[in-house]
Chain A
Amino acid sequence: MLTIDNLTKTYPLAGGGLFRAAGAFTALKGVNLNIAKGESFGVVGESGSGKTTLTRCILGLERITAGRIVFDGVDLASLTSAQMRDMHSRIQIVFQDPYASLNPRMTVRNIVAEPMQIHRSKLGFDARQQTARVHELLGMVGMGPHYASRYPHEFSGGQRQRIGIARALASNPELLILDEPTSALDVSVQAQVLNLLQTLQDKLNLTYLFISHDLGVIRYVCDRVALIYRGELVEEGDTSQIFDNPQQPYTKMLLSSMPEPDPARSPLRRRGQALTGTETNH
């Protein structure tokens, strides 16, 4: 469904002069990915690894330096900006920070209906149909229709992320990019949102590109995983294969750093005996 072929993205560095460039920073270097319809594909990387640059390239927010991004047989670089905007009805994104990604001056109804406005020619909803669809979408994410007239500040982080998901689903997308959708949330709320995403995927046959630095979340949600490090693809494969039998040293290092909620598996404790409180008088 989505094929990324030898994708390279460089940014010019500051400095240099009128006739001499200062060189370039390579954010992504020859990345190849294949995402099949209906699967959850995870991209894991630490800060600065190029995860966000990758999503920006897929969304057409960055001009790619080399390589191709092909969505459903269409090379995204070949599209005019109007065609790219139409394409955005099929590729949508849920952002990391539910506090920053919702316009505080718009009601929930208008936030969720905005993609329907933008893609009106394709979806063909009039205002009343849009409101009905907003109520349907809010229902899908587990929120009642009475929330539609409220503003973002009235909601908790988890509820805001549900609103962000409802907005992303408004234009009937096929591919949903989830850019760290739960990293700003508490664990119990994270569990609610992850369960919701899985229910929606089953119901709507969505394809997920799940970006995260949380290996536990990726392992739970994704069918296949790719690890990127400093803009390069380090390892890619089925989730179980990567987690049970990592091949690359970077993957092994990252997995061993993953804090599992089990004291018996702590590398700190394993090294010496467990800490026991010793009373001393100071």
Chain B
Amino acid sequence: MAFLEISNLHLNMHTFDGSAKVLNGIDLAVEHGEIWGLVGESGCGKSLTGLSISRLIASPPGEYTQGSIRLNGEDVLRVSERRMRELRGRRVGMIFQDPTTNLNPAFTVGEQMVDVALHAGSIDDDILGMPASASFDKRREAARKLAVKMLDMVGIADAAKRVDHYPHQFSGGMRQRVLIAMALICQPELLIADEPTTALDVSVQAQILRLIYDLVEEYNLAVLFITHNLGVVAQLCSHIAVMYAGNIVESGTAEAVFAQPAHPYTQALLQAIPMSHMRRGELRALPGAVPDLLAPPPGCRLAPRCPHVLPRCSARFPDSIAVSPVHRVTCVLADPGER
């Protein structure tokens, strides 16, 4: 069993207008050392998938109707809240898009990191190297040392001094490094990064991608990297899962999927990115808009927009088909028996 295994996850969101099927049978397995790029456009459910792993979707309005999310075999949807608090941070670290709003402006980054380290240290003695019964001053001193060490690890120069600085004294890229350090302070095995570079300039983005890549190589982390940017996935990720309207429509190793995208939606996404060889007018846009999840189309949810649509696409939801051992696609076109 993979370290993170999401199987057949269905999430409904109850709204005033009815119940929206926002996740419609997600299957995903992530191992240590793998960086999975979860891509899709706004509203496809990629962030909800990430938040579900830390069980951060409020219920209500959210309701998991089917499926499981297993971390090392333990179903996070069914554990107690107390156990969940141990898992968050300890096994799963998260970083988010906007590094400014995720740090408290009234406290130094050191104080904020020490809080996290003390919490983690109360769960696991190894983190601070002393039992939870040790004196508070000793534990806080150890937590502070750890904070400096983590800041140093994510490439913040002069960490011993910077630990006493406030968030506004850091640039956007540096703040994201602080948040990565904070997420890694409890030595998680899975890092969920939700659009961590979207608010950053490309040159800073390149530095953060390198940092994440190096951390994976060094600590054998599993990473779920949520983004809408296929370019970033191609740069960083070992694997990719493409989402559309609550489904993973294609997944596999980055090499396989980028070399031979098999799902019409993946193909459309790649053709919509301006590339160096494209001449004026060669950019292909997928017509139409994403479906209303309160009343999704029957069968394949892409069918109304799909350039290769067949009558049977609307009849039932397509099966997930392995086009190669490292590449799966959810489309009738990929099924030789159906063609």
Please list the residues of chain A having a beta carbon within 8 angstroms of any beta carbon in chain B.
Answer: 46-47, 156-158, 186-192, 194-195, 198, 213, 215-217, 219-221, 243, 253-254, 256-263, 265-269, 272, 274-280, 282
For B230, the chain A residues whose CB sits under 8 A away are 187, 261
B81 on interface, CB distance cutoff 8 Å: no
Question: Are B281 and A195 closer than 8 Å at their CB atoms?
Answer: yes
Question: Are A260 and B228 closer than 8 Å at their CB atoms?
Answer: no
Taking the closest CB of chain A, its distance from the CB of B302, in whole angstroms, is 11
Question: Are A272 and B217 closer than 8 Å at their CB atoms?
Answer: yes
> Contacts A195-B281, A215-B202, A276-B238: A261 and B258 contacting too (C-beta < 8 A)?
yes
Interface string of B227-240 (1 = CB under 8 A from A): 01111111110110
For B272, the chain A residues whose CB sits under 8 A away are 187-188, 190-191
Taking the closest CB of chain A, its distance from the CB of B6, in whole angstroms, is 16
In chain B, positions 268-283 with a C-beta closer than 8 Å to chain A are 268-276, 278, 280-281, 283
In chain B, positions 246-278 with a C-beta closer than 8 Å to chain A are 254-255, 258, 268-276, 278
Closest 9 CB pairs of A and B: A259-B231, A220-B274, A191-B285, A191-B272, A186-B41, A46-B201, A275-B238, A257-B206, A192-B285
Question: Are B32 and A282 closer than 8 Å at their CB atoms?
Answer: yes
For B278, the chain A residues whose CB sits under 8 A away are 220
B-side interface residues, number (CB < 8 Å):
54
Question: Are A187 and B210 closer than 8 Å at their CB atoms?
Answer: no
Q: Which residue of A lies closest to B202 (CB)?
A: A257
For B268, the chain A residues whose CB sits under 8 A away are 188
Question: Are A191 and B284 closer than 8 Å at their CB atoms?
Answer: yes
> Contacts A186-B41, A188-B286, A254-B203: A277 and B33 contacting too (C-beta < 8 A)?
yes
Show 23 residue pairs from A and B whose CB-CB distance is below 8 angstroms, ordered by the A residue. A46-B202, A46-B203, A186-B42, A189-B285, A190-B272, A191-B284, A191-B286, A198-B281, A216-B274, A217-B274, A221-B274, A257-B206, A259-B232, A260-B276, A261-B231, A262-B234, A265-B234, A266-B236, A277-B33, A278-B220, A280-B33, A280-B220, A282-B3
Question: Are B269 and A188 closer than 8 Å at their CB atoms?
Answer: yes
Which of B239, B268, B271, B283 lies at the interface centre, i.e. has the most chain A CB atoms within 10 A of its CB? Answer: B283
> Contacts A191-B284, A243-B276, A277-B34: A253 and B203 contacting too (C-beta < 8 A)?
yes
Q: Which residue of A lies closest to B209 (CB)?
A: A268
In chain B, positions 196-236 with a C-beta closer than 8 Å to chain A are 201-203, 205-206, 209-210, 213, 216-217, 220, 228-236
B134 on interface, CB distance cutoff 8 Å: no
B35 on interface, CB distance cutoff 8 Å: yes
B289 on interface, CB distance cutoff 8 Å: yes
Question: Are B255 and A186 closer than 8 Å at their CB atoms?
Answer: no
B102 on interface, CB distance cutoff 8 Å: no
Question: Are A268 and B236 closer than 8 Å at their CB atoms?
Answer: yes
For A261, the chain B residues whose CB sits under 8 A away are 230-231, 233-234, 258, 270, 273, 275
CA distance A198 to B285 in the complex (A): 13
For A258, the chain B residues whose CB sits under 8 A away are 202, 231
Taking the closest CB of chain A, its distance from the CB of B133, in whole angstroms, is 26
B169 on interface, CB distance cutoff 8 Å: no
Q: Kindly identify which residue among B34, B203, B206 contacts A275, using a CB–CB cutoff of 8 Å.
A: B34
CA distance A274 to B203 in the complex (A): 22
Q: Which residue of B lies closest to A47 (CB)?
A: B201
CA distance A242 to B312 in the complex (A): 49
Taking the closest CB of chain A, its distance from the CB of B13, in whole angstroms, is 19
Question: Are B72 and A282 closer than 8 Å at their CB atoms?
Answer: yes
